């Protein structure tokens, strides 16, 4: 393989990785702020629900979460 072809593939992969990073950042920062604010809520029910959500997100592997998000709506809604 030619070195220029390899470099083009690496640069393309880096661009895709940066795009995924930026999209993840755009989605995760607002979600994290909402979860943080709800965790400080004065309502015990809201704090409890958020605590369960945090425990589930921390306690399960990322790959399992991704599979649930990807395949879950299909199996739930058809």
pLDDT the model gives residue 26: 96
Do residues 68 and 62 lie in contact, with contact meaning Cβ atoms separated by under 8 Å? no
pLDDT tens digit string along 16-69?
A: 999 999 999 999 999 999 999 999 999 999 999 999 999 999 999 999 999 999
Q: What is the model's pTM?
A: 0.67
Do residues 56 and 48 lie in contact, with contact meaning Cβ atoms separated by under 8 Å? no
pLDDT the model gives residue 78: 83
Half-sphere exposure of 42 (CA within 13 A, CB side): 0
| DSSP state letters, 24-63 | HHHHHHHHHHHHHHHHT-S-HHHHHHHHHHHHHHHHS-HH
């Amino acid at each position: 393989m030619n070195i220029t072809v390899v470099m083009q593939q690496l640069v393309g992969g880096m661009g895709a990785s940066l795009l995924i990073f930026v999209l993840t950042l755009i989605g995760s920062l607002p979600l994290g702020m909402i979860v943080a604010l709800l965790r400080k809520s004065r309502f015990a029910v809201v704090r409890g629900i958020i605590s369960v959500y945090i425990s589930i997100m921390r306690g399960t592997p990322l790959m399992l979460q991704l599979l649930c998000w990807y395949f879950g709506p299909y199996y739930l809604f058809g």
